[in-house]
Each structure stands twice: as structure tokens, then as C-alpha cells.
Structure 1
């Protein structure tokens, strides 16, 4: 073989190998794109339209690693483990009702992060926002969608400790009236007005646009309180109740109860309180629950527990029967249609 033939053969080999390399690169890029959407073996997630008023879908904060982590995501109600549709809206805490959403977001700055509460319309578009004084921890919307509430930590980062302070705000999304701090409401315990400086209020759950339940803490004790926005009052109903969640029929409260002999770093168990009799029922979930549970329906509770992606959603009957089951992996802050 002469020199020219050898050069032509070498050139052909280079072209073939170059084509193979390009093909492999494109194939790998395609696989990487699919891998992003499927979260490296986790749930399949892809961008798409999400609405708050679609009764056919459940909503939650997607926790799977990848480009859609922390985005509000929808799945079909009848197929919760199916492909996820991510909205592009990222929230640290989220809740929605009747086409109104509340999204507590981080705003990343050059020197430090700040936080804000964003009121969303039914297509997850911002209606207005409010600056937050601390780290987001709880958020709720009233059944009508007119009133929203949120809680932030203004010092400390856990309800388990003793050195923490909260600030809870409630806003009317139509009239835009803001109660910036529920600690300014008049708190009564055993019919006595409490005027202590250590009052903390957190974890609102709405009965309607005017009335709500929450946790109030003072003198080292926590109470379930009933709040009234028209009279600006909080009335204690029952001790040792944290992060209440009102049932759809308004007769029961799901909550986390601090157990005396539990690990101080994992002190809470999930209970249900009958508001008429004040009778407590322990659920069949015996692990530590540091969450504000959600009622999926009138009989079933949904709550978060640590998982491979940070958080999974679990479910258990509210009447103390049954056993806990994992409902969704890599998910947090669920909202189900009523």
C-alpha cells in the first residue's frame, strides 16, 4: 500500500471514529435529559401546565433530585405514583384551596437568603407577595380560598427545642388586610387572660375565613386555641396540641402530641382530637411526626416522614385502626381536592 492510500485509509478511520464519538455524545445527552426528567431512577417528572382548581389532580412539592426539585407538581388523583407534571414554581412551604395558593419561597441574594410569602392564582401566577421575617415553616389557605396564613421561625429552627420563636400572619386576599402577628390577639387560658411576653402562635388551620385553630405556647406549655379574627381573640381548648389540622367536616383535629417518655429529639406522635368531647385517639403511626398533617378525606391522614429524597408522604386512618402506608415518595406539602 502506497503512502497516499495509507493517508486516505487513516482519514477515513478518523472520520468514522469522529462520527461514532458525536453519536455517542448525542445519545448520552439524550439519556442525560431523560435522566433529569426521571430523577436518576426516581419518579418521572416533566414540565407542564399545573392548575390549582383541577379536581382530577393532587398537588405537592416535588422532592426528587433534578431540575424540578421543590417545584409544585401535579399527579392524577387516581394514579398518584404516575408521571409528575412540574409547574416551574418553587416553594419551601405550600398549600391551596378553591383556586388560591400560598407559596413560601426563598429569595437567594449575594450575601444571604431572604424569604417571602407569595399568594398565587389558580394558574400559579403571583397575585401579590409579602416579605417574611424568618424561615418558613407552615402555610394554610381557608376552604373558600379567601384567607391565607403562614408561620416562620424568627429564631431557632425546630419546634423540638426550647429556644425558638415564631411569627404567624393571616391575610385577606381580597381586602388585603394583614394581621402581621397573631401574638397581638388576646389569649385566654382557663378563662384567664394571658399577658406573658413568651407567647408563640403557629400552625393555623381554618374553619372559615374568620375562625381558625392554631397552637399557642406560653410558660412551657402548648394549647390548641380557637381564633376569631373579628374579635382578635385566641381561646385555649385543650393542652399539648401542636400543628393542628381540621377535618373536612369540622369536627376533629389531627395534631402532633408531645409524649413525655419519648426521645427529646423525636417527641411527637400523631393524634386526633374530637372537638365535641375532647377525647383523644392515638393513630397507628408510632414514629415521630414533625409535620402538620393533611386530611385526604374524612377518614385518612397524610403526613411526611424522612425518605431517600428528603421526604416521603405516608397515610394512616384517623380512627386509630389500620397501619401506616407510604403514599408517595419524594414529596411534601400535599393538597388533595375535596
Structure 2
């Protein structure tokens, strides 16, 4: 099949929004896109559009993409990201700056047409990205040392940017937090995985310290937070604000999806039980989207109902960072 596609290279005319199966390789990578892509067609953050980071091998690897329908060629934008998120016409793209020592990342705040409205360079490597439901606050987490949450001695920096005012909070590490009614102080405090509510004020974040993790419920205006659950990481607040999905560590140090009902503090488990290292996204109030590693060969975006009677389903192969504009 590869030879056939390569043979067609000389006869394909690549124009406008034509489907591109084979193009010139970049940086010595594969010359063929493992998934058919469409180039030249604009991608916008129009309401309801499902976007993602293309993880298919080939020249379009890492580009922001949109899928019109299951099985259809994916439209790709000329925007490379390591992490991507979007909501209400605002996008965020995190990408590592190649060759920088110590590692640096670009934080790109995007307009509805995916053009850059603000650019910030910060220390660290990309980890998590989110946009508040009202599109007014973008947030991110960068690794300052280490390359995974399983690493010993990792350090993170989580920050915020207010789209309308331009206010930049490079790190929320000074956020006052209370655990069991007392102000918490420790030298090893790390925050990661911010998620905002629809009001643009209430937010949730992970606090990691002394080999424990806590789900922090925080108020942005008063700038203080309270621990409401232990063993919870990378929270994601449902659109109706009633539940928080998160990843919970198992005894064998793998993670699985869990869902906290905020009113009752009851934790339940969706039917997806495989190891997951992602900050899940709510597609609606009953369905979650997330990326799952496929061995050492790649990653796919899956969906699962939160009801234990449902079944997970493959949504987008060769993809990460699902987002709903």
C-alpha cells in the first residue's frame, strides 16, 4: 500500500482543499500520512466543533485537526501543538521550543480562526491545557523537571491568562489552600490540571504534596481553595457543574477514571477501567472524552458514558487533546 501511494505522488495535484495522502516528509519523518488529511480548508472554533491534536504518523503529525464525520478525512490546520484545548471561540496551544535548555514552552492563546492573539514563553514542557467554558480564561500546566507524573521529584507550574484583560498569572503556587480546616504549608506543593466552572470563578485543581494528591475547590475572585477529596488528579468539571471527573491512582500505581458527585461527595466509576494518563473532557453531562495510549505505537481518543452500564467507544484514532469549541 505504501509503495502504491508513493507511486501516485507524481500524478496527484495538491490544490486547495484536496485530500493529501502523501506529501514531502518533514524533518526526516514518514513521507505518508497514516490517516488521510485535508489541507487548505479553514478550521475555526465554531460552536460544537470537535477538534484534536493529530497523532497519526506523517507530515501532519502534531497539527490541530477537525473531523467532519467518523471515517472521513481529517482537516488539519497549519498549527503545531503538543497540547491543545478550546471553548467558546478561544483556543490554547502549548508547544515545546526545540533546542531550548533549560526546556521552554510557548503558550499560544488563539482567536476563533486559530490565529495567535497572545504569545507567552515560560519555563517547562507542556503537560495540560484548558479553556474556561466562557472562553475568558486559559490555563496550563508545565513540567519544570521530570517528564511524567510517575517520575520522582517532578515539579509543575500551573498558570492562567485572562483573555479580555491580558492579566497573566505565571503560577498559582501562592494559592492559599486549606486541608482539614487548616491552612496547608509544605515545601513540595505542586498544582496541576486546572478546570473552571461556567461562571469563570469557581475552579478545581490538583494539589500534590508529601506523596498525596488532593482535589482542590477554589474561588478565583477571593483566591483561596479547600481540599474536598484525596487521591484525585487532573479534574474536569461537568458542563452543569454537578460532577468532577478525575483520574484516581490504583494500588498498582496505574490510573483510572472516577467521577465525584459534588453534592453528595459520592465517587462512582465509568465502565472505562484501562490505565489513563489524561485530563478527561466532558462532551456533555453524561459522556467523557479522553486519550488512551495504544501500547508504544500511538494514542487514540475514546469516549465513555459515566453510567457503569455503558461501554467505551473509539471516537478518533491516532489523536490526542480532544476539544469542543
Query: Aligned partners of 1:222 and 1:32: how far apart in 2?
Result: 54
Deviations 1:58-111 (A, max 9, x none): 1110111122111111112xx133111111111101101111101001222487
Partner of 2:188: 198
1:294-305 matched pairs, under 5 angstroms: 294-305=281-292
Query: Aligned partners of 1:110 and 1:288: how far apart in 2?
Result: 32
Deviations 1:137-186 (A, max 9, x none): 00000111110100001011111233111100011111111222111010
Query: Aligned partners of 2:305 and 2:185: how far apart in 1?
Result: 39
Larger Rg: 1
**Paired residues of 2:304 and 2:312 also in contact (CA < 8 A):** yes
Structure-2 change in CA distance of 1:186 and 1:54 (3 Å): closer
TM-score w.r.t. the length of structure 2 is: 0.88
**Paired residues of 1:284 and 1:316 also in contact (CA < 8 A):** yes
Partner of 1:218: 209
Matched, 1:36 2:22: yes
Matched, 1:115 2:105: yes
Which residue, 304, 307, 310 being the options, matches 1:322? 310
Matched, 1:51 2:44: yes
Query: Aligned partners of 1:153 and 1:177: how far apart in 2?
Result: 22
Which residue, 161, 164, 168 being the options, matches 1:178? 168
> 319-328 or 185-194: which moved more?
319-328
Aligned residue for 1:43, secondary structure, equals strand
Structure-2 change in CA distance of 1:26 and 1:189 (3 Å): closer
Query: Aligned partners of 1:114 and 1:29: how far apart in 2?
Result: 40
Structure 1 residues not aligned, in runs of 5+: 1-24
Matched, 1:61 2:48: no
Matched, 1:248 2:236: no
Which residue, 61, 73, 80 being the options, matches 2:70? 80
CA deviation after TM superposition for structure 1 residue 296, in Å? 1.3
1:93-112 matched pairs, under 5 angstroms: 93-109=83-99
Matched, 1:280 2:280: no
Partner of 1:15: none
Structure 2 residues not aligned, in runs of 5+: 1-5, 15-19, 24-29
Matched, 1:160 2:147: no
Structure-2 change in CA distance of 1:113 and 1:220 (3 Å): closer
Aligned residue for 1:175, secondary structure, equals coil
**Paired residues of 2:103 and 2:125 also in contact (CA < 8 A):** no
Query: When the two structures are aligned, how many residues end up with a matched partner?
Result: 306
Between Structure 1 and Structure 2, the one with more helix by share is: 1
CA deviation after TM superposition for structure 1 residue 286, in Å? 1.5
Partner of 1:8: none
**Paired residues of 1:136 and 1:153 also in contact (CA < 8 A):** yes
Aligned residue for 1:61, secondary structure, equals strand
Partner of 1:19: none
CA deviation after TM superposition for structure 1 residue 131, in Å? 1.0
**Paired residues of 2:63 and 2:81 also in contact (CA < 8 A):** yes
**Paired residues of 1:65 and 1:309 also in contact (CA < 8 A):** no
